[in-house]
Amino acid sequence: MKSKSEPTRDAFHFAVWAFALAVFALGGLGRWQSLWQFHDLTPGKRVNLTFDEIVFLKLAGHLRSDPLDYELRDWYRQLERDGRAPPAYLNDPIFKHPPVVPWLLSSTFVPEAPGVLRSLLWMMLFGVGITATVYGIARTFLEPSWSALAAAFAWLDPFLWVGSVKVWLDLPLAFFCSVAVFAALRGRRYPPAFLWMGLALGLAFLTKYVAIVPWIGLAWWGFVRDPHLRRNRCFQIGMLIPWLMVAPWLAWCFKTSGGGWLNQPEAQYAIELIRRFALGGAVIAALIAIVWRTAPPKRSAPDEPAWNGRLFLGALFALCLAGLLFFPSWFSGRVEPRSGFQVLTFGQEGREFYLGRILNLNPLLWPALLALIWPKLPEPAGLARTIAIAVIAAFTLWGNFQSRYMMPAMPLLCVLSVWSLRDIAAYLREEPDRWLARAWFAAWAGFAILRLAWVHSTLSMPNQFTYF
């Protein structure tokens, strides 16, 4: 016999699914509009592209003719003859980024508008893939309706939305990293999935060097936090696979340009990350592991969703109040999110740039920030938090501020946000007399949806920028 709360719960899950399906339909139409809004892919007309997109599509054209033609020196000299000042990396004997995405684009690229559209559709497919992967990650510890909500959050996220209508490397990187996280979680029950984790990480390595950051997060999760995984042969091989996959690319770079490619900023930063992790991070990780293993268990507050939800709701209220007091532009419909075509548009920003940008552009992720500091999470959420923090911290320390660099963290933040919201919903459901709390939460949800719609209408949909 059903309890009185079960019909209400069934109605709630139905509403979540209806909301998610509406989001997928409207978001798909919106992304398609964004794609055409900037690029103007009308047959017979000149396709409008940003400089980075031109670079990657030119590389795709080269690779279509010759799979080993991975440089743009002829174009560099042409730009110089035209009186322009091209970036120095175009004159390198081999392009600075690994070639997986340009190779993929070359499979469908032709220089006319329909061919460019086919290349752009790869980015749309990566966006769809991220949405599906977010559902899979959330499903490892959440109910289907909440997992669908996490996928809807990813589909609505402005960072991932913009990445799906631009030929950038950051969205494919986010996809491969998300697949790696999903495979790692599946590996708990089915160890061969760790090999798929390694394959996905290898493709991430062959997309951008900064894939070392998620690899470090997974290494911490498996080798430091969990002694069982540390001895798992599939996990060990999975963590080795990315280095085996990237080795031919590194050998190609050394053969083509000697050590010159190591002077690129991205390569230098990856090397610096490895150095810091090897020297300081390993010592700190060992000390934390010792304390973790030997410290006596502490009594903590009840780990019940309703209890967590009460604290989360209070913290969310405090966050909104702080935003109203110190960052009123987050709540204004007059101050549009800053973006532009100028290099170093955000060159003078401070270290708080990435955190502030997430809060400003996507209020639906505010609950995720609460999960980032919550002491006790389910294991899948804990892994998502580890990698999200690693990505945010790494790019914050780097000091090169572009919002697209946050894309690998955004799918994981969507999962964490929904986990927090599920606990808030449990609290509100179990305390039916908390009408003030319900009213406040409804007000926040309404604000978050309206704010996100405004961000899309002023930033994502017009799609008139290179930097945001």
Q: Which of 83-97, 182-196, 271-285, 326-340 has the highest mean pLDDT?
A: 182-196
Concatenated DSSP letters of 6-29:
HHHHHHHHHHHHHHHHHHHHHHHH
Which residues touch 152 (CB under 8 Å, ≥6 apart)?
19, 20, 23, 24
Task: Check residue 184 and give its pLDDT.
Answer: 94
The region of weakest confidence among 233-247, 283-297, 364-378 is 283-297
Alpha helices for 40-169 (secondary structure H): 51-65, 73-81, 100-106, 113-139, 144-156, 158-163
The region of weakest confidence among 70-74, 196-200, 244-248, 267-271 is 267-271
Q: Which residue has the higher pLDDT, 213 or 50?
A: 213
List the chain domain ranges: 34-295+302-460
Mean pLDDT calculated for residue range 198-226: 91
pLDDT of 332 higher than 60:
yes
> What is the model's pTM?
0.86
What confidence tens digit (pLDDT) does each residue in 422-431 have? 888 877 777 6
Query: Burial of 114 by CB count in 10 Å (0-12 exposed, 13-18 middle, 19+ buried)?
Result: exposed
| Residue in 47, 35, 56, 55 with CA at minimum distance from that of residue 162 | 35
**pLDDT band at residue 201 under the 50/70/90 scheme:** very high
Separation between Cα atoms, residue 319 and residue 327, nearest integer Å: 11
